[in-house]
Amino acid sequence: MSTTQNTRVALVTGGSGGIGKAVVEKLIADGFAVAVHYAGNQARADTIVADARAAGGRAIAVGGDVADEIAMEAAFDRVETEFGGVDVVVNTAGVMILGPIADFGLDDFDRLMRTNVRGTFVVSQQAARRVRGGGAIINFSTTVTRTQFPTYGPYVAGKSAVEGMTMILARELRGRDITVNAVAPGPTATPLFLDGKSDEAVAALANAAPLGRLGAPEDIAEVAAFLAGPARWINGQTLFANGGLA
């Protein structure tokens, strides 16, 4: 598969997930060639790619553990081979495990840190080496760094680290014409968010925002696409997409 000289290329990690899938679909609609990354659900990624191609888009699926530097190097190699380069990396891959700090299992904590922190670092490192001038690196944080809900402590610890490394990478890439930002979604109706929550808890979170609803994956995808495309003067920032929750 090849792209025209003017086609921009994006790699979306976690592209088979709820927000990731919405980001893929939005970037395809915006004319990007997109690599849909998956960790464990190749069938879902292949379906997203097939749908994109059926609609006239350009897409491939790439697999691998985001925390494995060899796997991610190979994933970036594949994207460059197929599409000729990488312009945008949207790093949506992540896991969410909730629980009070006092009782939180360290195995679960290590799993969170491995995917959400090391994984973001590994992907950002490859992106910093490979994204072309005029490109963008977009990582994912969470609004809970502000709202500070109980049981989110371990998750927020990882996402706070993501914000920190994102801000510093933006400064380290001075002179490269590459923007580096983070998106911090509020409560968003994805399987990752809804898992383990009662209907009452979901309703309370939906009502907490002034807009009176949960976010949709498409709401978050709009922000990522803005940063991936026209938002060339936004750099080294965390954008909170949460309906006014905080």
Q: Where are the domains of the chain?
A: 9-241
**Does the predicted model carry a pTM greater than 0.75?**
yes
Identity of the amino acid at 8: R
In the prediction, which pLDDT does 153 show?
Answer: 98
Task: Name the token pair of 28.
Answer: 């395809």
Task: Compute the average pLDDT of residues 176-188.
Answer: 96
Task: Compute the average pLDDT of residues 152-178.
Answer: 98
Encode pLDDT of 20-32 as tens digits: 999 999 999 999 9
Task: Name the token pair of 50.
Answer: 């097939």
How far apart CA 182 and CA 142 sit, in angstroms, is: 9
> What pLDDT band is residue 178 in, cutting at 50, 70 and 90?
very high
> What pLDDT band is residue 199 in, cutting at 50, 70 and 90?
confident
- At the topology level, CATH places domain 9-241 in Rossmann fold (3.40.50)
Of 32, 76, 152, 155, the catalytic one is: 155
In the prediction, which pLDDT does 3 show?
Answer: 57
In the prediction, which pLDDT does 196 show?
Answer: 74
How far apart CA 74 and CA 65 sit, in angstroms, is: 11
How many CB atoms are located within 10 Å of the residue 208 CB? Answer: 18
Percent over 90 (pLDDT), the chain: 86
Q: State yes or no: is 38 an active-site residue.
A: no
5 pLDDT more than 80: no
> What pLDDT band is residue 1 in, cutting at 50, 70 and 90?
very low
